[in-house]
Amino acid sequence: SAVISQKPSRDICQRGTSLTIQCQVDSQVTMMFWYRQQPGQSLTLIATANQGSEATYESGFVIDKFPISRPNLTFSTLTVSNMSPEDSSIYLCSVVPGVGGNQETQYFGPGTRLLVL
């Protein structure tokens, strides 16, 4: 499976500020996704990060709040904009491997733990 890293691993931020989370993969992947896991809850898909084009957002998530970039096949960023305490969550990226990998399965990064004060 692909090796996925996320930066930062955790952060504490003030309300009204923005944080950009990075997801780096050690090999080219076909698809990348961003999820949110609120405290005590399950995972919710935010968007699909499309390489070279705008991300595809799920219902309830908008680009102005969660802008996403994916400049190449191994890297993506998620920005949490104008943060409020309700944005305190774990943010996770996931990938579907490219050629040579298990292309039927998503693999998840370690997550970024965000606390907004």
Best CA proximity match to 72, nearest among 113, 109, 108, 29: 29
Tokens describing residue 75:
């890297």
The C-alpha atoms of residue 96 and residue 108 are separated, in whole angstroms, by 9
The interface mask with another protein, positions 25-64, x = CB under 8 A, is ------x-x---x----xxxx--x----------------
Member of 73, 88, 101, 113 binding another protein (CB under 8 A): 113
- Dihedral of CA 110/28/26/114: which sign? negative
Member of 74, 109, 114, 116 binding another protein (CB under 8 A): 109
Q: Which residues contact another protein by CB under 8 A?
A: 1, 4, 31, 33, 37, 42-45, 48, 90, 92, 94, 96, 104-111, 113
